[in-house]
Chain A
């Protein structure tokens, strides 16, 4: 993975690593429900996408932020064509944390996602494969209710830390399972931390993310930390996790982020996945893609990506436009 990173840093041409699995559903004729429950379907989606877009810089597996909570026992709301979400908090007091059982790897749909990871890694050896897991604070928010978790850090910080410790224990093992499955790295999605102040992010998110990074990251396995909140003031805290890469959402201007990140760490971002990539016309997508590449051209460590998961239902012609714009930009 260090080799891959170094090749990006040394290579003048821009590569693209969009967070993209759902658009593959149209290519293979499956539903969101199939994708989030059947590992083989997820694999065939990313396989179809990497075949259609050979310029893709790495394969990212699904960013499913309900799977870990489900493994803990949370009820999940499923529907045929919408992304699953946690429907109810699992615990309503921190006293209940002691009763939480840390899930085994393979519980719930973790097995399905690891199957997809294994298939992608085994059959896609020419391409880097990133698994996806939720971040500790975001997981705690799903188990305890995100609104309550927000105020808990102020009024019950010890309880919040107890829950975060349990979440992190599981996430370390889950991240390791992706590594054992043959992935080249993982993306840790920690969107809820984007709602915090920098010192709160440090205490209740980054400290725990760092434990996961320390547990799994090495020269062959990269951790990318994703935060799609307003992260301009959180970059220092995110850097402290030690992750080798950072992925930003479209809430920020990359030109405010990039100067804060050392040139030897990769920075991914941040075309608006809904407003531009899903709802924009191919012409707009091309303009926005080239504009972002031009504005960030001085940063060799910048990798263009979507600001978050590209939504289901995004037209293939829009994805085509994204890759065409990058090809045209690289040609000069």
Chain B
């Protein structure tokens, strides 16, 4: 495999954003995902190869370590930041259609809830897995999910909640989304949730970690 691509995978896995970033200490002073993505494009490597052979394997590697409890939220977020930096360079190729996304994923924290760390982790990891992510932010009203679905009717939807007081708000969102878009897959997540709750409110899937959401989405064929 191309040396630049290999290094890029390493940078994503270990959260090396750019040359300036002091993290990880073992790679201090070295170029990061920012510079390497640019170098790869300049070297004529196809954007789709950069994404599929460089970036996504890096996110998969760190995601697996996260699921296994070998790295934690800070490292996962650094990897996601490195991924986001690399994707900035690929954006024109997504816009032109040269690189295809796996699908589109709308995500937001349910109305009444202002917490975003879980939502951010999932959004960044799903994006890193090759999906277009539309992040609606926190305290997202049902109408906002529906309006976005109108523009992207075949998307999957992710709803997050951290509070026991706001998780109940998910039920009405799921209900209205399913009423208007019965084929839309709805994923839910958040610290107080479980599969039983997800089933009860009519969601399609509960994911306890970002990798679970990625695995579920990757299995969807209709997005």
Interface residues of A, Cβ cutoff 8 Å to B: 32, 77, 79, 81-83, 85-87, 146-147, 150-151, 153-155, 195-197, 200, 228, 230, 233, 251, 272-275, 278-279, 308-309, 311-313
- Interface residue from A151, A228, A272, A311 paired with B165 (Cβ < 8 Å): A311
Q: Known contacts A251-B191, A274-B192; decide if A196 and B72 are in contact (CB<8 Å).
A: yes
Q: How far is the CA of A153 from the CA of B15 in the complex (A)?
A: 13
In the complex, the answer to whether B78 meets A312 with C-beta atoms within 8 Å is no
Q: Which of B5-13, B48-56, B111-119, B212-220 contacts the other chain?
A: B111-119
**B:18-76 near A, CB below 8 Å:** 21-24, 69, 71-75
Residues of chain A within 8 A of B196, CB atoms compared: 275
Residues of chain B within 8 A of A79, CB atoms compared: 112
In the complex, the answer to whether B73 meets A196 with C-beta atoms within 8 Å is yes
Chain B minimum-CB-distance residue to A157: B22
Q: How far is the CA of A228 from the CA of B164 in the complex (A)?
A: 13
- Interface residue from A83, A85, A195, A274 paired with B167 (Cβ < 8 Å): A274
Q: Known contacts A87-B114, A279-B197; decide if A154 and B74 are in contact (CB<8 Å).
A: yes
Answer yes or no: B166 CB below 8 A from chain A CBs.
yes
In the complex, the answer to whether A151 meets B164 with C-beta atoms within 8 Å is no
In the complex, the answer to whether A151 meets B81 with C-beta atoms within 8 Å is yes
Chain B minimum-CB-distance residue to A151: B77
Q: How far is the CA of A153 from the CA of B164 in the complex (A)?
A: 28
Looking at the assembled complex, report how far the CB atom of A241 sits from the nearest CB atom of chain B, in whole angstroms: 19
Answer yes or no: B146 CB below 8 A from chain A CBs.
no
In the complex, the answer to whether A82 meets B114 with C-beta atoms within 8 Å is no
Answer yes or no: B194 CB below 8 A from chain A CBs.
yes
In the complex, the answer to whether B165 meets A154 with C-beta atoms within 8 Å is no
- Interface residue from B167, B168, B191 paired with A228 (Cβ < 8 Å): B191
Q: How far is the CA of A150 from the CA of B124 in the complex (A)?
A: 15
Q: Known contacts A195-B73, A196-B73; decide if A278 and B164 are in contact (CB<8 Å).
A: yes
**Which residue among A147, A153, A272 has the maximum number of chain B CB atoms within 10 Å of its CB?**
A147
In the complex, the answer to whether A147 meets B191 with C-beta atoms within 8 Å is no
Q: Known contacts A150-B73, A200-B72, A275-B196; decide if A312 and B165 are in contact (CB<8 Å).
A: yes
Interface residues of B, Cβ cutoff 8 Å to A: 15, 21-24, 69, 71-75, 77-78, 81, 112-117, 120, 139, 163-168, 191-194, 196-197, 200
Q: How far is the CA of A83 from the CA of B192 in the complex (A)?
A: 15
Chain A minimum-CB-distance residue to B197: A275
- Interface residue from B23, B167, B193, B194 paired with A154 (Cβ < 8 Å): B23
Residues of chain B within 8 A of A251, CB atoms compared: 191
In the complex, the answer to whether B72 meets A311 with C-beta atoms within 8 Å is no
Q: How far is the CA of A279 from the CA of B167 in the complex (A)?
A: 11
The 5 tightest CB contacts between A and B, nearest first, are A311-B164, A274-B164, A195-B73, A274-B192, A197-B72
Looking at the assembled complex, report how far the CB atom of B62 sits from the nearest CB atom of chain A, in whole angstroms: 13
- Interface residue from A77, A228, A308, A311 paired with B114 (Cβ < 8 Å): A77
Looking at the assembled complex, report how far the CB atom of B123 sits from the nearest CB atom of chain A, in whole angstroms: 11
**Which residue among B22, B74, B120, B139 has the maximum number of chain A CB atoms within 10 Å of its CB?**
B74
Q: Known contacts A83-B165, A228-B191, A312-B165; decide if A153 and B74 are in contact (CB<8 Å).
A: yes
Chain B minimum-CB-distance residue to A309: B164
Chain A minimum-CB-distance residue to B195: A275
In the complex, the answer to whether A308 meets B164 with C-beta atoms within 8 Å is yes
Looking at the assembled complex, report how far the CB atom of A142 sits from the nearest CB atom of chain B, in whole angstroms: 10
Could you list 21 examples of A-B contacts with CB < 8 Å? A77-B114, A79-B112, A81-B165, A82-B165, A83-B163, A85-B113, A85-B115, A86-B114, A87-B114, A146-B117, A195-B72, A195-B117, A197-B72, A197-B74, A230-B69, A272-B192, A274-B192, A308-B164, A311-B163, A311-B165, A312-B165
